[in-house]
Structure 1
């Protein structure tokens, strides 16, 4: 049986700047069966310049057009809230994770985390990557917007600065991502190119694609979720609601069970069923002792507890050792 998929419920900034809502998201992630609940940590002054525009998806999802700085100023939690959130996660019994977006946030989160999640937007940020790598902790690396060469440069830089194990997530940075832009086979390309574990960070609507990713070998799944998709904010519309998150987790766990060992052997239930479902060689009419078995007096019918039809040519031409009634299993 394959190892358990790490399911990250991405709360991100769907708390809308409220610690109370953030805790409700923690509760929801736990109730839905996720392994990890993830937030986003940043110092606004280090994250965006005053003139940085909103992304198109942010404009579309919020119905507003303002600077990124103005938008994020309403969404980010202060550092001290993450200390409380980490403690709350421990109490609830779910793993706490938060993505840092600047070096100050990396240094703040370091004591709170045992693994890093690097977002797609930071994969070309040299000083950021070095700061994370030198902690020596394992890394989950998202690769949205990347060429394969950019992924290779980031992975090499992390390894050169003594990072821990790297798991690479295929990702399409668009919220929501149209199905035709998913390119899920790229996850396999990343696995083959870098010889590491891979996963998928999903921004599509629905739960089909992350389930398919698990069937293809993803060891990590990350998916945005929200308490209510109609809430105000840039990421809610591309997020799962609680019942959908629970359905995704259950489906992934079922896929893990269904993947099996890869060995083609009948199950215990099948061994019982094949006696009923398979056929044996039987008399197609009454046969007298000494009569020759031919295609005219033999046929194949259920059950499968007699001579296998695969021995058909072996039986043909032999003499009946006793009388056989129509439909009786043949013996030789």
Structure 2
């Protein structure tokens, strides 16, 4: 995929992230679950604690990230699994070494919210020419527009082709209240960004409501965290979609696309046949017999189903006409019956 505009429905990313908790077997299971649920892409977070956190300044967080690490070779295996099950492999890469190793395997790049201003990493991603998703939690519009301008300066083709997605996101980790979602910001992004930039949504709420609302507000890329059990201890499991929830969302997207149809108002002739239209529509009928030469007044007329003869829309054109022959009540009328 070179552009998010190539697909006819929103692109769905199952964010496994660190929910594998450093267990390769668990990572494999979650990948297969996400693929079976219908995700377009499965995303991980490829990091090492030494490349993301200053262990002298924040030793506790450094230790935390160390528990959720897989090796780059393990990510290669996961990328190969993605090919086998026909989903795109994605990984947020948080340092240049991981970027150089994983770039050949990655279908769509992702810049996490924490790296929105990390132009050192954003530049080589833009230079690849691959589609990029940029999350915007904790950012204001000025920062968002600056990042978009930076990508455009590095590689204008990504923006012009629809390969750049800016994702509304709120860092509500540990406190996923509905009022924090601020989904109306999707409208603000769409209004402020260049028209070729695709707007998306990275979800941290509970359930399927926010992702559906985001789609209806125009989000064309949806990222949602993924788990097999919301009751697991690690925080990111708590607001993640399960296989069943993700599949429900994907089915919704597919049915939605089928239901949208075309932006033209005409009968759906596959079901709204001429016979059905005639059955539902009304025609002008005489309420009683009348002789030739009778001037037709409203008290002689009615409109009834089915539509045979003169349409009810022509009712007032019949009023005042003169019968050219003897006419029988409730028989279909023709303009030749009048003069």
Same fold (TM over 0.5): yes
Superposition deviation, residue 285 in structure 1: 3.2
Superposition deviation, residue 133 in structure 1: 2.5
Residues 43, 104 of structure 1: 8 Å contact kept: no
TM-score (norm 2): 0.87
After superposing the two structures, state which structure 1 stretch, 126-135 or 243-252, moved more. Answer: 126-135
Report the Cα distance in structure 2 between the residues aligned to 1:323 and 1:182, rounded to whole angstroms. Answer: 72
Correspondent of 1:167 among 147, 150, 165: 165
Pair 1:315-2:318 in alignment: yes
Q: Which residue of 2 aligns with 1:42?
A: 47
Pair 1:76-2:77 in alignment: no
Report the Cα distance in structure 2 between the residues aligned to 1:120 and 1:27, rounded to whole angstroms. Answer: 26
Q: Which residue of 2 aligns with 1:227?
A: 228
What stretches of structure 1 of length at least 5 have no aligned partner?
A: 54-65
Report the Cα distance in structure 1 between the residues aligned to 2:309 and 2:172, rounded to whole angstroms. Answer: 61
Report the Cα distance in structure 2 between the residues aligned to 1:217 and 1:257, rounded to whole angstroms. Answer: 17
Q: Which residue of 1 aligns with 2:185?
A: 186
Correspondent of 1:143 among 133, 136, 140: 136
After superposing the two structures, state which structure 1 stretch, 243-252 or 277-286, moved more. Answer: 277-286
Superposition deviation, residue 4 in structure 1: 2.9
CA 1:104–1:234: 2 relative to 1, 3 Å: farther
Report the Cα distance in structure 1 between the residues aligned to 2:100 and 2:296, rounded to whole angstroms. Answer: 85
Superposition deviation, residue 2 in structure 1: 7.5
Partner-residue secondary structure (3-state), 1:77: coil
Alignment of 1:251-262 (within 5 A): 251-262=252-263
Residues 197, 219 of structure 1: 8 Å contact kept: yes
CA 1:189–1:52: 2 relative to 1, 3 Å: farther
TM-score (norm 1): 0.88
Partner-residue secondary structure (3-state), 2:215: helix
RMSD over aligned CA atoms reads 2.2
Q: Which residue of 2 aligns with 1:199?
A: 200
Q: Which residue of 1 aligns with 2:123?
A: 130
Report the Cα distance in structure 1 between the residues aligned to 2:118 and 2:25, rounded to whole angstroms. Answer: 32
CA 1:289–1:28: 2 relative to 1, 3 Å: farther
Correspondent of 2:31 among 7, 26, 34: 26
CA 1:161–1:320: 2 relative to 1, 3 Å: same
Report the Cα distance in structure 2 between the residues aligned to 1:2 and 1:274, rounded to whole angstroms. Answer: 35
CA 1:302–1:26: 2 relative to 1, 3 Å: same
Report the Cα distance in structure 1 between the residues aligned to 2:68 and 2:7, rounded to whole angstroms. Answer: 38
Residues 89, 107 of structure 2: 8 Å contact kept: no
Correspondent of 1:5 among 7, 10, 24: 10
Deviations 1:10-35 (A, max 9, x none): 11111121111111111111111111
What stretches of structure 2 of length at least 5 have no aligned partner?
A: 1-5
Report the Cα distance in structure 2 between the residues aligned to 1:306 and 1:177, rounded to whole angstroms. Answer: 62
Partner-residue secondary structure (3-state), 2:110: strand
Structure with more relative contact order (C-alpha pairs < 8 Å, separation 6 or more): 1
Report the Cα distance in structure 1 between the residues aligned to 2:168 and 2:328, rounded to whole angstroms. Answer: 65
CA 1:266–1:7: 2 relative to 1, 3 Å: same
Residues 116, 147 of structure 2: 8 Å contact kept: yes
Partner-residue secondary structure (3-state), 1:134: helix
After superposing the two structures, state which structure 1 stretch, 209-218 or 42-51, moved more. Answer: 209-218
Deviations 1:248-283 (A, max 9, x none): 001011122222221122211224432222211122
Residues 48, 66 of structure 2: 8 Å contact kept: no
Partner-residue secondary structure (3-state), 1:173: coil
Superposition deviation, residue 90 in structure 1: 1.1
Pair 1:291-2:273 in alignment: no
Partner-residue secondary structure (3-state), 1:96: strand
Superposition deviation, residue 324 in structure 1: 4.3
Q: Which residue of 1 aligns with 2:19?
A: 14
Aligned pairs, number? 320
CA 1:48–1:325: 2 relative to 1, 3 Å: farther
Partner-residue secondary structure (3-state), 1:287: coil
